[in-house]
Amino acid sequence: MTTELSQIDPSKLRIDLYPTEVLRMKASPVAVDDGIDSSMRAIAERMIDLMRGADGIGLAAPQVGLPVRLFVAHVPADPEGEPDPSGLAISTEAPQVFFNPEIVEFSRDLEPYEEGCLSLPGINGEVNRPSTVTMRAIDLDGNEVEMKATGLLARCWQHEIDHLDGVLIIDKMTQMSRLKNRARIKSMEKAARR
């Protein structure tokens, strides 16, 4: 399925909730060979507004009904936090926009952390993820970038890229977290069938 981004009215974009079908689709690459045009920028801006309005730190295009490989992220620095001893990025100063992102390197360790998701309100669970990742993507200026992050920023990137592959936190939660959230998930599925 190809989505022509120039035909999208960004003002109509809303955050889709589970079990909306697009959340389970593998997203298509965005055609960026001719640069990032105004329609792509407008969609990214709208996604940033939606993310902020929902107090999120990341939002992937499938979460707003667009099956394309695009996500936005803003992980503000903890005012009382310390920089990571490795010197790697753990936060962002401003929202970031990434087209066609891919993780090109993972650390071997897995760290547990409780995650939530804007498409799964009220559902939080422990997810094990590599603590450090290197991501390659196209930025809002049309440049290919390669960035390395750790901590919550690395987790955010992995969570959003999972969305681009049709994977949700409920697929990756620990068994205990799945059991804890089972009733809420079933309730969302039932509500969608009405």
Q: What residues act catalytically? A: 160
CA pair distance 42, 57, nearest whole angstrom:
19
Contact 57, 51 (CB under 8 A): yes
Q: Which residues of 8-22 are buried (b: 16+ CB within 10 A; e: fewer)?
A: bebeebebbbbbeeb
Any idea what the Cα angle at residue 172 is, between residues 68 and 177, rounded to 5°?
Answer: 135
